[in-house]
Amino acid sequence: MGNLEGSAMARNKGHLYLPYDEQRSIQVEYVHSSRDSAKTTVLMPFAVNDNWRREIVAAMQAKDPGRTTIQISNATSNAIKLSSRRPTASTPSPEPEMVVEPTAADNNRRAQNIVGNYLTQSGMYTDQHRSVLSDDSHVHRPDYSGFVSQVAANGAGAPAQAFAQAQHVEAITTPGPVGDRDVYLNPNNHNVFTLAHEDLHRIEHPSLQAPGSRLTPGTVEGMTEYMTQDASGLDFRTGGVPGQRGFTYRNETEAVRNSISSGQYTSQDVQRTYLRGSQSPTDRIVGAQNSQATGNQGNVTSGQSYVSHGNSVQGYGQPWNPSAATSAFTVSISPGRQAYQDMGSGPAYQPARPARPPSR
């Protein structure tokens, strides 16, 4: 499942440099598929907006015209690698001179902005949502033994079972009323997109958790992950421990996407069901869920009673600007799939639009 770390793949890895500002370039990794000569996955440590996505596609195709399928995925780290030199023919791969790791507070704000911008564009972001997501006291970062204890406490069974399972779990969000749910992050296996997924669980409508809910846990996770990826501009998310990386809620998310593509319900139906518990869209989603289960077309079961588990990510949106010693965060709303804008004290980041594809 989604293993990008095998020896065959390692031979097809490289670095791509994109303009970050007037003086600096940002380093991202790419991986050519060993199975499909037309496919390349570019690994970004943060979401990238539509302009950057076009630049990445142009750069990869200029480098290798046969690469016609370009996917943007998540890097294994949130670190931002910057170089003050532009790549040239003589220095095609300058080493990054600055590696910036966002803080826990940075990532909380980044995730909040991903979710907030997404829901604002569709008119679904309420004052209650804003208040809940701005409260960092419910986001916990225990050590690994503490995380295992939370996994056990939230339905994974005996401690030995929880210990075996916990390494593959990014995070859990406890059930309860909106505003009272707690997020526990796996210290060894999470990133900013994990937080975006959990932030959606924090504001999930109580009817989805109520006894007798017609929506299965797998459908709820599929809806959550669908919105996470849509908010971040993702094609898919991957993650997990080294050597065992896989896709995050792949079947559940594909079931939702397939239902939307086939016209069984809409992305607005997903939001209205998930955030408001509205009856009509819920009926449509339940109907599609039951149809898929009957036809064995989608994985709509979960088996875990804790809310969120899985792997990792990919996306578009404005990157976090590490140039300032302290960061102020604002939400920038613009047409299209604008995930978020995190700014330092300087001017907002604007992706460069060079006359030719960025140097590589």
Strand 69-74, strand 39-44: pairing: parallel
Percent of the chain past pLDDT 90, that is, above it, reads 35
Q: How far apart are the first and last CA of the chain?
A: 29
**Poorest-pLDDT segment among 36-40, 67-71, 185-189, 342-346:** 342-346
**pLDDT tens-digit series, residues 241-259:** 666 777 889 899 999 999 9
Q: Which of 133, 135, 128 is nearest to 114 (CA)?
A: 133
Is 48's pLDDT higher than 70? no
What is the spatial distance between Cα 142 and Cα 104, in angstroms, rounded to a whole number?
12
**pLDDT tens-digit series, residues 64-111:** 888 889 888 777 677 888 887 665 555 555 667 788 888 999 889 989
Q: How confident is the model at residue 340 (pLDDT cuts 50, 70, 90)?
A: very low
Q: What is the pLDDT of residue 259?
A: 97
**pLDDT tens-digit series, residues 64-73:** 888 889 888 7
Is 352's pLDDT higher than 70? no
Is 181's pLDDT higher than 80? yes
- The top-scoring range by mean pLDDT among 13-22, 54-63, 212-221, 348-357 is 212-221
Greater model confidence, 225 or 312: 225
What is the spatial distance between Cα 97 and Cα 120, in angstroms, rounded to a whole number?
37
Greater model confidence, 207 or 322: 207
Average model confidence (pLDDT) across the chain: 74
- The top-scoring range by mean pLDDT among 42-56, 81-95, 181-195, 318-332 is 181-195
**Poorest-pLDDT segment among 1-10, 11-20, 169-178, 228-237:** 1-10
Sign of the four-CA dihedral 314, 108, 134, 173: positive
Q: Which of 242, 248, 232, 241 is nearest to 312 (CA)?
A: 248
Q: Determine the distance from the C-alpha atom of residue 209 to the mean position of all C-alpha atoms in its chain, rounded to a whole number.
A: 23
